[in-house]
Amino acid sequence: MDSALATVALPAALAVVMFGLGLSLTVDDFVRVTRRPRAAVVALGLQLLVLPALCFGLVIAVGLEPVLAVGMLLLAASPGGTTANLFSHLFRGDVALNVSLTAVNSLLAVVTLPLVTNLAVTVFDPPDAGSIGLQFGKTVQVFAIVLVPVALGMLVRRSAPASADRADRPVRVLSAVVLALVIVGTVVAERENVAGYLREVGLVALAFCVLSLLVGFAVPRALGVGHRQAVACAFEIGVHNSTLAIAVAISVLGSVELAVPAAVYGVLMFPVAALAGWAVTRSSRSREPEGREPEGRESEGRESEGREPEGVAS
């Protein structure tokens, strides 16, 4: 990809997305996790431990090319995107839980993303492995592109909440446009290899998306998490921040090929997540008595009352 795009345009685009996330967050979104810990602990355990292991098994099973395998693990280590909040709202999930999980996941990603990526580089040993690994200097870059724009957005919300509310919708729309442009840019940069990449990574990305959504809903329900919270967990776990994965791959690690799995996933996750939400909503109608609030919803619902679903870009 052109160096100006990689060093200026893409980091700026990601900054817009992460700033928009920050506009939707408050300190209480982090604190809320401690008030209703079961769903949060289950979701974070799945996000941080189970998903990378699941992705690792998939890429091993299909014998994915080393660089694409590392790209898949980079995607798996990326936190849930703000699109998860929108899907959760559309399909009656606990949006307050999504907001809290997105906040905590984005913070933890500064540590977990380099760990998982470096482990994948060690295992798969792609060409130019030394430049692909996230050493200290590159980890600092991840820290800067993830947390600094989020912190600035949170600062704006705290100091000028009315301005943050007015900016929220335009920034969400801009974030959606940014995501589309990032995906298109990645595909165009690798246009000569797109057909081959789709053949190689398309089914893996699709399977990973489906399994993430399935595990994200079924495991919390099996562990006694309420229906709406399980819906929130499913979208938080199944809808990754593909913009972040692409930006890290191209701007920090300097590899467009490494970004291909996230770009493919970014296209596939929208229809797959919509179908999953429709299926879960349809199946739940006959099981949940009308008017009954699932576990944990009442208090968190009051906290999120009046706030629109945050974000449309992942």
Q: Which of 129, 133, 116, 110 is nearest to 74 (CA)?
A: 116
Task: Compute, in degrees rounded to 10, the torsion defined by CA atoms 198, 314, 58, 97.
Answer: -160
Asked if residue 256 is part of any domain, the answer here is: yes
Task: Compute, in degrees rounded to 10, the torsion defined by CA atoms 170, 173, 174, 177.
Answer: -160
pTM (2 decimals)? 0.75
Q: Cα angle vertex 277, ends 223, 293, to 5°?
A: 55
pLDDT of residue 150: 80
Q: How far is CA 164 from the centre of its chain?
A: 22
Q: Which of 129, 106, 138 is nearest to 244 (CA)?
A: 106
Asked if residue 126 is part of any domain, the answer here is: yes
Output the six-digit token pair for 103.
Answer: 């906040």
The domain tally of the chain equals: 1
> Who contacts 187 (Cβ-Cβ below 8 Å, separation ≥6)?
194, 263
pLDDT of residue 8: 59
C-beta of residue 104 within 8 angstroms of C-beta of residue 44: yes
Asked if residue 124 is part of any domain, the answer here is: yes
Q: What is the pLDDT of residues 126-182, one digit of tens each?
A: 876 555 656 656 667 667 777 788 888 888 888 888 888 887 777 767 766 766 776
Asked if residue 291 is part of any domain, the answer here is: no
Asked if residue 309 is part of any domain, the answer here is: no
Query: What is the arithmetic mean of pLDDT over 229-250?
Result: 87
C-alpha distance across the termini of the chain, in Å: 21
* CA-to-CA dists, residue 37 to 79, 90, 180, angstroms: 18, 24, 35
Residue percentage of the chain with pLDDT more than 90? 21
Torsion over CA: 244, 250, 255, 260 (sign)? positive
Q: What is the pLDDT of residues 73-111, one digit of tens each?
A: 999 998 876 778 778 878 888 877 888 888 788 888 888
pLDDT of residue 268: 86
Where is pLDDT greater, at 47 or 299? 47
Domain of 106, CATH number, reads 1.20.1530.20
C-beta of residue 245 within 8 angstroms of C-beta of residue 105: no
At 52, the pLDDT band (50, 70, 90 cuts) reads very high
Per-chain mean pLDDT for the chain: 78
Would the pLDDT of 298 be above 60? no
Looking only at Cα atoms, what is the longest distance across the chain? Answer: 58
> Who contacts 260 (Cβ-Cβ below 8 Å, separation ≥6)?
68, 71, 186, 190, 197, 201
pLDDT of residue 70: 92
Asked if residue 296 is part of any domain, the answer here is: no
C-beta of residue 23 within 8 angstroms of C-beta of residue 171: yes
At 61, the pLDDT band (50, 70, 90 cuts) reads very high
Q: Which of 157, 288, 172, 161 is nearest to 231 (CA)?
A: 288
Q: What range does the domain containing 166 cover?
A: 3-285
Where is pLDDT greater, at 79 or 291? 79
Asked if residue 299 is part of any domain, the answer here is: no
Q: Cα angle vertex 293, ends 32, 240, to 5°?
A: 50
Asked if residue 308 is part of any domain, the answer here is: no
